[in-house]
């Protein structure tokens, strides 16, 4: 399994009464496929994966799998406080068609138990696994040394989604310690995407409704057109920055997707929180600004 390119982390749509909204998922797949993204990453933090029952998780994976166009990978987020249920979770995801697992750590901040967890769970997954390194959300810090040990000893682990800023510093340290074989995905809402790609990131895996901008960025960097890439990135940074706001990032994306006709509702499972109208208005002002600059963004 070779992973490369732009993988939006997507939110999970709900109906007004709280059930998963499977119809909106199908529209979301079309919406993202048209942007030429390389795959979708579901059931991550933005996907409210931790707010679903086991049964709902399975149903969501199935709903994504079947209609997903050929050539687009399905990455499924998984994380558990214990190794056994994590193994069950990843096996089920694989059986339901996941191409890769985005694997968050358990809750114990100790190197050896974390190493063992990644070893056992990635082996149970039996498909490509991506280390999810996101201390602000998981509460767990993975040192460069630990990541290198995980990478060295886990046949199925060749990638990391790196969200422990400053990311450039950690990428350089990982390149030295783990070596170039460990593929790094940038994330954090794309806040440092240009610099991460310049340092050799294999792609960006993050929430961003206007993912076509990341696709264009990635294509320019593939062609080594760095000045154009920088120009593009600097242009859209105000927008992805605004989507990425702590706490309300899930709600913002859902409200935009509802506005664009992709989601039926913008419902976030309680305890939310929801973004406010002013925040949405400010977002669309940035989109308008980009449209005036010539970017063909939907509104």
Binding site for a copy of itself (CB under 8 A): 18, 48, 50-56, 80-85, 88-89, 106, 108-111, 113-114, 116-117, 120, 141, 143, 165-166, 168-169, 172, 191, 195, 198-199, 230-231, 233-235, 237-238, 241-242, 245-248, 269-273, 275-276, 278-279, 282, 285-286, 289
Q: Which residue's CB is nearer to a copy of itself, number 83 or number 265? A: 83
Could you tell me if 170 and 145 are in contact, meaning their C-beta atoms sit under 8 angstroms apart? no
Q: In degrees rounded to 5, what are phi and psi of residue 7?
A: -125, 95
Kindly state the smallest distance separating residue 291's Cβ from a copy of itself, in Å.
13
Q: Which residue's CB is nearer to a copy of itself, number 188 or number 215? A: 188
Kindly state the smallest distance separating residue 240's Cβ from a copy of itself, in Å.
11
Q: Which residue has the tokens 């499924």?
A: 76
Kindly state the smallest distance separating residue 35's Cβ from a copy of itself, in Å.
22
The C-alpha atoms of residue 160 and residue 182 are separated, in whole angstroms, by 7
Q: Which residue's CB is nearer to a copy of itself, number 165 or number 261? A: 165
How many other C-beta atoms are found inside a 10 Å radius of the C-beta of residue 291? 14
Q: Which residue's CB is nearer to a copy of itself, number 91 or number 156? A: 91
Which two tokens mark 192? Answer: 């440092």
Q: Which residue's CB is nearer to a copy of itself, number 179 or number 234? A: 234
Q: Which residue's CB is nearer to a copy of itself, number 3 or number 114? A: 114
Kindly state the smallest distance separating residue 228's Cβ from a copy of itself, in Å.
12
Kindly state the smallest distance separating residue 147's Cβ from a copy of itself, in Å.
14
Kindly state the smallest distance separating residue 85's Cβ from a copy of itself, in Å.
5
């Amino acid at each position: 399994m070779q992973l490369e390119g732009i993988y939006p982390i997507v939110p999970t749509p709900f109906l007004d009464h709280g059930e998963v909204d499977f119809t909106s998922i199908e529209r979301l797949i079309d919406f993202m496929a048209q942007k030429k993204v390389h795959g979708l990453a579901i059931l991550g933090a933005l996907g409210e994966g931790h707010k679903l029952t086991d049964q709902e998780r399975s149903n969501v994976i199935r709903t994504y799998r079947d209609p997903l166009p050929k050539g687009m990978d399905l990455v499924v987020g998984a994380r558990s406080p214990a190794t056994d249920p994590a193994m069950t979770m990843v096996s089920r995801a694989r059986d339901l068609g996941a191409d890769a697992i985005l694997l968050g750590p358990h809750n114990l901040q100790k190197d050896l138990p974390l190493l063992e967890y990644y070893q056992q769970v990635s082996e149970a997954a039996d498909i490509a696994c991506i280390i999810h390194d996101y201390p602000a959300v998981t509460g767990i810090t993975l040192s460069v040394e630990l990541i290198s040990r995980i990478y060295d000893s886990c046949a199925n682990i060749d990638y990391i989604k790196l969200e422990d800023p400053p990311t450039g510093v950690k990428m350089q340290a990982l390149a030295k310690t783990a070596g170039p074989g460990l593929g790094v995905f940038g994330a954090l809402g794309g806040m440092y995407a240009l610099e991460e790609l310049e340092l050799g990131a294999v792609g960006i895996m993050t929430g961003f409704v206007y993912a076509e901008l990341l696709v264009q960025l990635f294509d320019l960097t593939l062609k080594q057109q760095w000045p154009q890439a920088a120009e593009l990135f600097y242009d859209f940074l105000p927008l992805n920055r605004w989507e990425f706001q702590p706490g309300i990032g899930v709600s913002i994306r859902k409200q935009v997707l509802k506005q664009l006709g992709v989601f039926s509702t913008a419902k976030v499972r309680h305890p939310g929180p929801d973004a406010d109208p002013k925040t949405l208005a400010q977002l669309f002002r940035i989109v308008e600004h980009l449209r005036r600059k010539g970017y063909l963004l939907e509104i």
